[in-house]
Structure 1
Amino acid sequence: MHISGPTAGRRVCAAVIAASVTCSTVLTGQYLAAAGGLPTPPSVPALKLDWRPCVQRSPFDCATAKVPLDYGDPGRRTIELAVVKRKATGPGRRIGTLLFNPGGPGGPGTVQMPQNYESFPHEVRERFDIVSWDTRGIGSSTAVNCFATPGEAAAWNAGKPAGVPVGAQQRAAVIAAYQDLARRCERRDPELLRHVSTADTARDLDGLRQAVGDAQLTYLGISYGTILGATYANMFPGRVRAMVLDSDIDPQAWTNHASDADPRLPTFLRMGSDRSAAAVLNRFLTLCGSTDTAGCAFSAGSPKATRDRFDQLMRRLRAHPVGGWTYGRTVADVVSGLYIVHPGWPDLAGRLRDLWQGRVPKASPLPPLPPVPHPNPYLGEEQASAVACGESPNPRDPAAYHAMEEASAARAGDAGRFWTWAAVACASWPAVAADRYRGPWNRPTAHPVLLVGTRYDPATPYADAQALAGELADARLLTHEGYGHTALINPSSCVKAYESRYFVDGTLPPAGTACRQDEPPFPAPKPVGGVATGGGGMTGATGTVQ
Structure 2
Amino acid sequence: MSLIARSLRVGIAGTVAIGLLTTGAAAYSAPGAARHSSAPEQVKVDKVPTPRLSWYDCEDFQSSPIIPQCATVKVPLDYDDPTGPTTELAVLRLKATGSPAQRKGTLFVNPGGPGGAGTMLAAIAPAFLSPKVLQSFDVVGIDPRGVNFSDQVRCYSSPGEQRAAFDGFKEPFPISPAETSAFFASSRSLGKACDTTGAPLTRKVSTAEVARDMDLMRRAVGDEKLTYLGFSYGTALGQYYGNMFPDRVRAIVNDGVLNPVNWVGDPARPSELDSRIRSGLGAVKALNEIMKRCKDAKKKCVLGATAQAKWDRVMTDLKKKPVVIDDGGEKLTVTYAMAVGTVLGAMYDPAGWEAVIDITNLLYKAVTKKTADVDRSALRQRFAPKRAGMAGFPYNNGLESGLSVVCSDTTNLPRLEDYPAEAQLADKRAPNFGPAWMWYSAPCAQSTWTAQDDDAYRGPFNVRTASPMMFVGNTYDPATYYWEALDSAALSPGAYLVKSQSWGHTAYGSSACVTGRVDAYLLALTEPAAKACLGDVQPFVTNSSSAGARATVAGPLTPETVVRILKSRKQIMPPVANPWLANAGR
Kindly indicate whether the alpha-carbon contact (under 8 Å) linking 1:266 and 1:420 is maintained by their aligned counterparts in 2.
yes
Partners of 1:3 and 1:224 within 8 A in 2: no
Q: Scaled by the length of structure 1, what TM-score is found?
A: 0.82
The separation in 2 between residues aligned to 1:377 and 1:236, in whole angstroms, is: 35
Distance 1:377 1:486 in 2: 29
Who is 1:509 aligned against? 528
Over 3 Å counting, the alpha-carbon distance change for 1:143 and 1:170 in structure 2 is same
Question: Of the candidates 507, 528, 538, which is equivalent to residue 487 of structure 1?
Answer: 507
The aligned counterpart of 2:224 is 215
> Alpha-carbon deviation of 1:242?
0.9
Change (3 A) 1:334 1:51: same
Using the TM superposition, give the Cα deviation of residue 116 of structure 1 relative to its aligned residue in structure 2, in angstroms: 5.6
| Of 198, 212, 236, the match for 2:245 | 236
Aligned to 1:320: 322
The structural deviation recorded for 1:419 is 1.8
Whether the 8 Å contact between 2:280 and 2:433 is mirrored in structure 1 is yes
Give the match for residue 62 of structure 1.
70
Change (3 A) 1:351 1:497: same
Compute the displacement of 1:449 (Å). Answer: 1.0
1:150-194 per-residue CA deviation (whole Å, 9 max, x = no partner) reads 333334434434112112111111111111111222221321111
The one-character-per-residue Cα deviations of 1:199-231 (angstroms, maximum 9, x if unpaired) are 111110011111111111110111111111111
Alignment partner, residue 360 of structure 2: 352
Identify which of 63, 79, 87 aligns with 1:79. 87
* Higher RCO, Cα 8 Å, sep 6+: 2
CA distance in 1 between partners of 2:231 and 2:5 (Å): 17
Partners of 1:505 and 1:75 lie apart in 2 by 39
- Alignment check: 8 A CA contact 1:354 1:361 kept: no
Q: Distance in 2 between matches of 1:339 and 1:172?
A: 30
Report whether the alignment pairs 1:362 with 2:381. yes
Alignment-mate amino acid for residue 297 of structure 2: T
Residue type matched to 2:466 in 1?
A
Residue 301 (1) aligns with residue 304 (2): yes
Deviations 1:230-277 (A, max 9, x none): 111111111101111111111210111xx30441x3112211222222
**Could you say which residue in structure 2 is the equivalent of 1:90?**
98
Query: Displacement, 1:413?
Result: 0.5
The secondary structure found in structure 2 opposite 1:422 is helix
Is the 2:96–2:103 contact (alpha carbons within 8 Å) kept by the matching residues of 1? yes
SS class of match (1:454):
strand
Contact 2:38 2:245 in 1 (8 A): no
The answer on 1:181 being equivalent to 2:190 is yes
The 3-state SS of whatever aligns with 1:314 is helix
Change (3 A) 1:364 1:291: farther
Displacement of 1:147 in angstroms is 2.2
Q: Is the 8 A contact 2:286 2:478 kept in 1?
A: yes
Change in CA separation of 1:170 and 1:37 when aligned onto 2, cut-off 3 Å: closer
Between the aligned partners of 2:89 and 2:120, the Cα distance in structure 1 is 13
- Distance of aligned partners of 1:455 and 1:187 in 2 relative to their CA distance in 1, 3 Å threshold: same
Unmatched segments (≥5 aa) in structure 2: 7-35, 325-331, 367-375, 385-392, 544-555, 557-586
1:163, 1:330 within 8 Å by CA — same for their partners in 2?
no
Where does residue 267 of structure 2 map in the other structure?
260
**Counterpart selection for 2:457 from 415, 433, 437:** 437
Aligned match of 2:4: 4
CA distance in structure 1 between the partners assigned to 2:522 and 2:99 by the alignment:
16
2:369 aligns with none
Q: Conserved in 2, the CA contact under 8 Å of 1:441 and 1:473?
A: no
Distance in 1 separating the partners of 2:470 and 2:425 = 35
* 1:364, distance to aligned residue in structure 2 (A): 9.5
Tell me how far apart the structure 1 counterparts of residues 395 and 185 of structure 2 sit (CA, whole Å): 26
2:13 maps to none
Distance 1:5 1:155 in 2: 25
Q: Which letter maps to 2:344?
A: V
What does residue 293 of structure 2 align with? 287
Matched, 1:340 2:349: yes
Matched AA of 1:80 = E
Percent sequence identity is: 36
Q: How many residues align?
A: 477
Query: Would you identify which runs of 4 or more consecutive aligned residues in structure 1 move more than 6 Å?
Result: none
Kindly report which structure 2 residues correspond to 1:395-414, keeping only aligned pairs within 5 A, or say none. Answer: 395-414=413-432
Alignment match, 2:256: 247
Letter matched to residue 52 of structure 2: K
* Counterpart Cα distance in 1 of 2:454 and 2:202: 9
* 2:500–2:534 Cα contact (<8 Å) kept: yes
1:497 to 494, 502, 516: 516
2:57 is aligned with 1:53 = yes
Aligned 8 A contact 2:347 2:504 in 1: yes
1:167–1:301 distance in 2 versus 1, CA, 3 Å: same
Counterpart in the other structure of 2:142: 133
Please tell me the root mean square deviation across aligned C-alpha atoms, in Å: 2.6
Provide TM-score, normalisation by structure 2: 0.77
